[in-house]
Chain A
Amino acid sequence: MKTKKGIGVSAGVAIAPAVLVDAEEFDIPHRTVPPEQAEAEWGRLKQAVSVSKREVRELRKQTADRLGKETAGIFDFHLGLLEDKILTRKFADTVLGDHVTAEYAVAAVLRDYAKEFLSMSPYLAERVKDVYDIEKRLLRNLIGQRRESLSHLRRPVVVLAHDLTPSQAAAMDREHIRGLALDAGGATSHTAIVARALGIPAIVGLNDVTADVAGGETLILDGNRGLVIIDPDEAALREYEQFSQQQVEFLHSLDALRDLPAVTRDGHEVVLLGNIEFPSEAGTVLAKGGQGIGLYRTEFLYLGSDVEPTEEDHYNAYRQVIERVQGRPVVIRTLDLGADKYTQSRARVPERNPFLGLRSIRFCLQNLPMFRTQLRAILRASVGADVSLMFPLITTMTELRQAKMVVMDVREDLEEQGTEHSQDVPVGMMVETPSAALQCGDFAREVDFFSVGTNDLIQYTLAVDRGNEKVASLFNPVNPAVLQLIKEVIRSGQRYDVSVSLCGEMAGDPQYALLLLGMGLRSFSCAPAAIPEIKKMIRSATMEQATEVARRVMGFTSETEITNYLRAEARKVLPEAFT
């Protein structure tokens, strides 16, 4: 038995065998695909070959520069293999003829060759190593390409990886993946957000957990305490099985709240909304008792595919969400890409400091055709629906005005073309930079609503990269400076009669619900899985209690005091949730 400590980013307990995702040795199951999917698999394989070629050429060049042409010659052979027409035809025959995955075709064809070469001549033994090397490269590119490896599991597992890309995390099969443990990452990395959205326990920032696990061992994942127990003994297993049973019972008890309003014991109503990434989650929000969608992140339209989504792709996704929520409100956030693979891999020169670089609304304002495509789709999809649109990462007034101009422009175009669209889509902004929070009184006169994005607000206020495990512990929502900024936004909203919602991860943590309520927040938007617990918290407290908590907290000067105080208060109100 071995215990490792990380950062618990999604609560709950999982007990299941470990599966290692990004190890160098790939175990490729023989898996067939439906005949109509074979063409797509072949496309993936061609793509992997072309990426691999590019990598090998680059390697050859680097090696030639560093060690000379002779040494670089070994890559000529690799390149030769990747350009080999007979080999390519064999890949195609296997994928298209046998209807198997690209991964399986690569492994099967290359391993057959390797076997033949080995049996023939000792001279070829060296070449066999090269063949395996190419196999690895292709598989790495195939598996890195996307998500499949995690979406076809057959039994419950806990997934271990060094890190996952957002699209890998997004494609996780929630039926079989019981938990997630990563070497990298902080509490608000995309993976953590997705894990919370799926409602599976997750721990990040474990540094080297992948080195301690070979795969197949039983693991206990304690998302509440951030613990991973490898090969647990009988006592630990018993303890956690019991605990996990209690958790299940508590969660079931929350189901009864689904159709009850989020109202405090003394009658103050709160709006409880859900954050989603995919249209399919809209149904989950309602099933969990949410009153609508407070944040629809649209990045996944881009991250899930290699080509830019068309206006129709956008339109169809938005219509799906709108139809699923049956008349309830939906806030669509415009593209919040940047500081990630999508924009960085397209940038000619990688940015030195991408989180302070061309991301989010800045990226949109410099890529107007792309931005306009999305806005057209939003205005068209909003006909007859309660849709608002929201700009992310507004830092200055000029940006907000520019973005609003583009909306007006797009609206005029639609008018001229006689295309059906909504005339009155409310326009709001995320408050997620200190500058926006400090100037929110001015902004309040130019927008219809605010939504506080705590993840970025904390990151920019405290100067902490939320995905960097070395400093992730400094990332804290209840830092007094952060709380002052949030307070400022809520106050401006009240003064200028602009509605304020909070859609960061903070909204979904029951520890903070009392405080936010007491600070005057009346609209929470969180991961669907967190809705019942937040509702329970709200329904268990009075506004008087909440106001008192907020008053006390504003008197503290460090996040440690505040954290301890809030935990104690939350436990008083809802002991079951804080065992």
Chain B
Amino acid sequence: MMFVETANRFTAKIEVSNGALTVDAKSIMSVMRLAASQGTVLKIAADGQDAEGAVDELSALVADGFGEMTEEEKQALEAE
């Protein structure tokens, strides 16, 4: 649950979406509901002072954590 822990280090409001469902990235329960397994395309959005840093770090974490992702999938991670 590194993802949620990391999200909680930022003050920005952070949301993560799998396309069908958008949830609060700081809640373990909510992130679990995304059932994000390999190959899922996640979209991370943040709003607040440290929003940019949050999205960068979380994207890197996901990319790294799912080290087997293709370049394509990595590109699908985008910040708003």
Residues of A within 8 A of B33 (CB): 116-117, 120
Verify A84–B35 contact, CB threshold 8 A: no
Verify B32–A80 contact, CB threshold 8 A: no
Other CB < 8 Å A-B pairs besides A84-B28, A86-B29, A116-B33, 15 of them? Answer: A76-B5, A77-B1, A77-B28, A80-B4, A80-B5, A81-B28, A84-B27, A84-B30, A85-B24, A86-B26, A86-B30, A87-B27, A87-B28, A120-B35, A121-B35
Residues of A within 8 A of B32 (CB): 113, 117, 124, 127
Verify B1–A85 contact, CB threshold 8 A: no
B37 CB within 8 Å of chain A = yes
Residues of B within 8 A of A77 (CB): 1, 28
SS class, residues of chain A in contact with chain B: helix
Q: CB-CB contacts of B1-39 with A at 8 A, as 1s and 0s? A: 100110000000000000000001011111011010100
Q: CB-CB contacts of A30-65 with B at 8 A, as 1s and 0s? A: 000000000000000000000000000000000000
What distance in Å separates the Cβ of A86 from its nearest Cβ neighbour in chain B? Answer: 4
What is the CA–CA distance of A127 and B30 in the complex, to the nearest angstrom? 13
Verify B1–A80 contact, CB threshold 8 A: yes
> What residues of chain B have their CB less than 8 Å away from a CB belonging to chain A?
1, 4-5, 24, 26-30, 32-33, 35, 37
Residues of A within 8 A of B28 (CB): 77, 80-81, 84, 87
What is the CA–CA distance of A120 and B33 in the complex, to the nearest angstrom? 8
> What residues of chain A have their CB less than 8 Å away from a CB belonging to chain B?
76-77, 80-81, 84-87, 113, 116-117, 120-121, 123-124, 127
What distance in Å separates the Cβ of A138 from its nearest Cβ neighbour in chain B? Answer: 14
With both beta carbons as reference points, the residue of chain A lying nearest to B34 in the complex is identified as A120
**Most chain-A CB neighbours within 10 Å: which of B1, B29, B30, B33?**
B29
| A76 CB contact (under 8 Å) in B1, B26, B29, B37 | B1
What is the CA–CA distance of A297 and B15 in the complex, to the nearest angstrom? 57
| B27 CB contact (under 8 Å) in A76, A86, A123, A127 | A86
Q: Contacts A80-B1, A80-B4, A80-B5 given: A85-B26 contact, CB under 8 Å?
A: yes
What distance in Å separates the Cβ of A313 from its nearest Cβ neighbour in chain B? Answer: 40
What distance in Å separates the Cβ of A56 from its nearest Cβ neighbour in chain B? Answer: 14
5 closest A-B pairs by beta carbon, nearest first, are: A86-B27, A80-B28, A120-B35, A121-B35, A87-B29
Residues of A within 8 A of B1 (CB): 76-77, 80
Verify B35–A86 contact, CB threshold 8 A: no
What is the CA–CA distance of A183 and B21 in the complex, to the nearest angstrom? 51
What distance in Å separates the Cβ of B37 from its nearest Cβ neighbour in chain A? Answer: 6
What distance in Å separates the Cβ of A477 from its nearest Cβ neighbour in chain B? Answer: 57
What is the CA–CA distance of A210 and B36 in the complex, to the nearest angstrom? 44
Residues of B within 8 A of A124 (CB): 32, 35
Q: List 9 A-B contacts (CB under 8 A).
A: A76-B1, A80-B1, A85-B24, A85-B26, A86-B26, A86-B29, A87-B28, A87-B29, A121-B37
Residues of B within 8 A of A85 (CB): 24, 26-27
What distance in Å separates the Cβ of B68 from its nearest Cβ neighbour in chain A? Answer: 15
Residues of B within 8 A of A84 (CB): 27-30
Residues of B within 8 A of A117 (CB): 32-33, 35
What distance in Å separates the Cβ of A34 from its nearest Cβ neighbour in chain B? Answer: 30
What is the CA–CA distance of A121 and B30 in the complex, to the nearest angstrom? 15
What distance in Å separates the Cβ of B17 from its nearest Cβ neighbour in chain A? Answer: 15
Residues of B within 8 A of A123 (CB): 35, 37
Residues of B within 8 A of A76 (CB): 1, 5
What is the CA–CA distance of A225 and B4 in the complex, to the nearest angstrom? 60
What distance in Å separates the Cβ of B14 from its nearest Cβ neighbour in chain A? Answer: 12
Verify B24–A86 contact, CB threshold 8 A: yes
Residues of B within 8 A of A87 (CB): 27-29
Residues of B within 8 A of A113 (CB): 29, 32
